[in-house]
Structure 1
Amino acid sequence: MQYVFGYAPVKLCDIATITRGGNFQKKNFVESGKPCIHYGQMYTHFGIYADKTLTYVNDEVFKKSKIAQPGDIIMAVTSENIEDVCSCTAWLGDEDVAISGHTAIIHHNQNPKYLSYFFHSSMFFNQKRRLAHGTKVIEVTPSKLENIEIMLPAIEEQERIVSILDRFDTLCNDIASGLPAEIESRQKQYEYYRDKLLTFKEI
């Protein structure tokens, strides 16, 4: 067993139960109702965590669906490529949410954002690559996810790590105050001088 920074890896099955998602489809979406997450949205909308859904289903569909509780990890387990398979988000909304098929619902007793950050890491990527199968459709079955190894510090340390990673995430992705704003500013500055020079106007 390999130790990293004093932490021993634990298997996901030791800290979580993993179930498959349900079978509602896009045709079941309604304008308002119970919140739901479709696996296809994992690739285009959801990131490390979410507290609101894009779509809803009615009460009847909701009752027949597989449900994720606040704090659960929702993971898309099929994709067209190895990079996107196992895209996931930590559900931090204040109510249960219906989950579509082609997903795994990971119910656990750890910091949800810590686990979600882990599932976006290279350590996880290297493991899922070994577990994935298929050619046109890449899949990692929920049963295989049980053997994923995670470096798991105490909850307090998980919270500290999450706090640091949240700040990095804001720095890199917040259009108002992070690096993208700086890049946009530099792009505008470049365009200003480019236009001045190309039109031979005084700078």
Structure 2
Amino acid sequence: MYTHFGVYADKTLTFVNNDVFAKSKTAKPGDIVMAVTSENVEDVCSCTAWLGNEEIAVSGHTAIISHNQNAKYMSYFFHSAAFFEQKKRLAHGTKVIEVTPSKLGDIRIMLPTIQEQERIVSILDRFDSLCNDISSGLPAEIEARQKQYEYYRDKLLSF
């Protein structure tokens, strides 16, 4: 999951037939889909906020976290250092690392107001876009470096 999706997703990669869907665990729009097994502590509990318009089938070894908060805020939190420190204490196993889904209830989440969550998400979305979106981040960085170059060039060449 974490190899294909980032903080959120609104489109699926594959589809299943109705029989498989009926037997699958499902996530509703706004749910957090979290991988509860991995080969290492860093990747266990990687998650994605499902922001699509319909219910989706989810494979095993996942936890579905339903909540009444901002889904992106929750997902950003689950990618934070504060969460990492907590999940390290819950992770167990040697070859396969697991966090028991029922233990996720022990996680302490900083929950500001919904308005503050939206403000935080807006800021983090802009940073994410600058860092990861080659069509907006890279051109903005090139433009900033060009202006910086011109500024120092002019300073160095004005006597």
Count of residue correspondences? 143
Say if 2:85 is the partner of 1:126.
Answer: yes
Say if 2:20 is the partner of 1:61.
Answer: yes
Identify the residue that residue 137 of structure 2 maps to in structure 1.
178
SS at 1:101 equivalent = coil
Q: Map 1:189-200 onto structure 2 (within 5 A).
A: none
Displacement of 1:91: 0.1
Single out whichever of 118-127 and 171-180 deviates more from structure 2.
Answer: 171-180
Identify the residue that residue 45 of structure 2 maps to in structure 1.
86
Counterparts of 1:104 and 1:119 in 2: how far apart (Å)? 13
Say if 2:111 is the partner of 1:146.
Answer: no
Could you report, residue by residue, the CA deviation over 1:70-113 in whole angstroms, capped at 9, with x for unpaired residues? 00000000000011001100000000000110000001100000
SS at 1:86 equivalent = coil
Counterparts of 1:112 and 1:141 in 2: how far apart (Å)? 22
Higher relative contact order (CA 8 A, sep 6+): 1
Identify the residue that residue 9 of structure 1 maps to in structure 2.
none
SS at 1:125 equivalent = helix
Displacement of 1:170: 0.5
Q: Residues 49 and 75 of structure 2 are in contact (CA less than 8 Å); yes or no, is this contact kept in structure 1?
A: yes
Point out 4+ residue stretches in structure 1 off by more than 2 angstroms: 179-183
Displacement of 1:182: 4.2
Say if 2:95 is the partner of 1:158.
Answer: no
Which structure has greater helix proportion? 2
Counterparts of 2:8 and 2:124 in 1: how far apart (Å)? 13
Question: Percent identity at matched positions?
Answer: 81
Displacement of 1:132: 0.2
| Structure 2 unaligned blocks of 5 or more | 146-159
Say if 2:52 is the partner of 1:52.
Answer: no
Displacement of 1:66: 1.1
SS at 1:45 equivalent = coil
**2:7 partner letter:** I
SS at 2:33 equivalent = strand
Q: Residues 30 and 50 of structure 2 are in contact (CA less than 8 Å); yes or no, is this contact kept in structure 1?
A: yes
Q: TM-score, normalised by structure 1?
A: 0.68
SS at 1:164 equivalent = helix
Identify the residue that residue 136 of structure 1 maps to in structure 2.
95
Identify the residue that residue 169 of structure 1 maps to in structure 2.
128
Counterparts of 2:38 and 2:70 in 1: how far apart (Å)? 26
Q: TM-score, normalised by structure 2?
A: 0.86
SS at 2:112 equivalent = coil
Q: Residues 72 and 105 of structure 1 are in contact (CA less than 8 Å); yes or no, is this contact kept in structure 2?
A: yes
Which structure has greater strand proportion? 1
Counterparts of 2:32 and 2:67 in 1: how far apart (Å)? 8
